[in-house]
């Protein structure tokens, strides 16, 4: 299934994409798409629904963050070989982990809000991993059983705050609007191999990033298992799994987002995002 939430900020309702690509209203089935609905048993209930019998959602509706009540928003850095190379850094021996504030989450087509006086806001297309069941010290071979599904993400980063404000990447990653995810969560059964997904990001129509998740240094199963060794992953948690080469910081000369820019992201099976920078 492809699950999403639609409506004005703070008034979203749950929905699903039917076989013809139309949005169907799920609010008669559940009040909202919250973390408990991502648990395996609940997903089985949703999968059994005949979407053709549910009301259609009108065209032009805003698409929101696809799951309500996210409690942990986690990032993995330097997880693509080409991105590590353009950053001038050796391939990491273990995943580099940071967090993003949950308040940075936004809908896939919501505007990107430039922080005050920012001249170094950067783009990062990423595969988002959405946890479906509690994961604590899980083995790599069991890790994907704890994944509810996947989503497209833009891990926006203010590089000055990230790199020149006494470390602590969290500060450069957590501004409001710096975590667009969606448009939908594709449940894990729709993506049997998360290590073979094409992706592309453009700014004002010019392609900046183009890659495939096969270039990841640490695959999804490894990431989930690794994180679960030192923290408990909860249903609804979102993990953004690293970006490929082509970020603005890595270009020569560097390029960053400015007011009026349009960022477009697309990933195989996970849809498209379009964001205006304001």
Question: Pseudo-torsion of CA 144, 146, 149, 152, nearest 10°?
Answer: -80
User: Which tokens go with 61?
Assistant: 């509706």
Question: Pseudo-torsion of CA 203, 215, 192, 125, nearest 10°?
Answer: -20
- What's the pLDDT at 212? 97
- What's the pLDDT at 167? 77
Predicted confidence (pLDDT) per residue in 208-261, tens digit? 999 999 999 999 999 999 999 999 999 999 999 999 999 999 999 999 999 999
User: Which tokens go with 71?
Assistant: 């409690």
Indicate whether 88 pLDDT > 80. Answer: no
Predicted confidence (pLDDT) per residue in 133-180, tens digit? 999 999 999 999 999 999 999 999 999 999 888 878 899 999 999 999
Q: Domains (ranges, CATH) in the chain?
A: 68-276 (3.90.850.10)
Instruction: Give the global pTM.
Output: 0.96
Indicate whether 82 pLDDT > 90. Answer: no
What's the CA gap between 179 and 173, in Å, rounded? Answer: 8
Predicted confidence (pLDDT) per residue in 11-32, tens digit? 999 999 999 999 999 999 999 9
Indicate whether 190 pLDDT > 80. Answer: yes
User: Which tokens go with 143?
Assistant: 């890790």
**Average pLDDT of the chain, as a whole number:** 96
Q: How confident is the model at residue 87 (pLDDT cuts 50, 70, 90)?
A: confident
């Amino acid at each position: 299934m492809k699950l999403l939430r639609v409506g004005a900020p703070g008034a979203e309702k749950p929905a699903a994409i039917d076989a013809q690509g139309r949005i169907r209203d799920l609010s008669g089935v559940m009040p909202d798409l919250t973390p408990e609905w991502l648990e395996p048993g609940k997903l089985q209930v949703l999968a059994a629904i005949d979407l053709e019998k549910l009301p259609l959602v009108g065209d032009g509706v805003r698409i929101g963050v696809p799951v309500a009540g996210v409690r942990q928003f986690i990032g993995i850095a330097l997880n693509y070989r080409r991105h590590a190379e353009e950053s001038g850094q050796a391939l990491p021996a273990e995943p580099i982990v940071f967090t993003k504030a949950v308040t940075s989450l936004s809908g896939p087509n919501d505007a990107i809000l430039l922080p005050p006086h920012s001249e170094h806001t950067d783009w990062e297309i990423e595969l988002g991993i959405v946890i479906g069941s509690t994961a604590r010290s899980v083995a790599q071979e069991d890790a994907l059983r704890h994944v509810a599904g996947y989503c497209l993400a833009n891990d926006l980063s203010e590089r000055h705050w990230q790199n020149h404000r006494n470390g602590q990447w969290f500060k450069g990653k957590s501004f409001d609007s710096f975590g667009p995810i969606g448009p939908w969560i594709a449940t894990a059964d729709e993506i049997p191999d998360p290590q073979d997904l094409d992706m592309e990001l453009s700014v004002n129509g010019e392609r900046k990033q183009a890659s495939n998740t096969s270039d990841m240094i640490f695959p999804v199963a490894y990431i989930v298992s690794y994180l679960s060794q030192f923290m408990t992953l909860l249903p609804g948690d979102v993990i953004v799994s690293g970006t490929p080469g082509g970020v603005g910081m890595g270009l020569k000369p560097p390029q960053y987002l400015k007011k009026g820019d349009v960022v477009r992201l697309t990933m195989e099976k996970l849809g498209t995002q379009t964001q205006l920078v304001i």
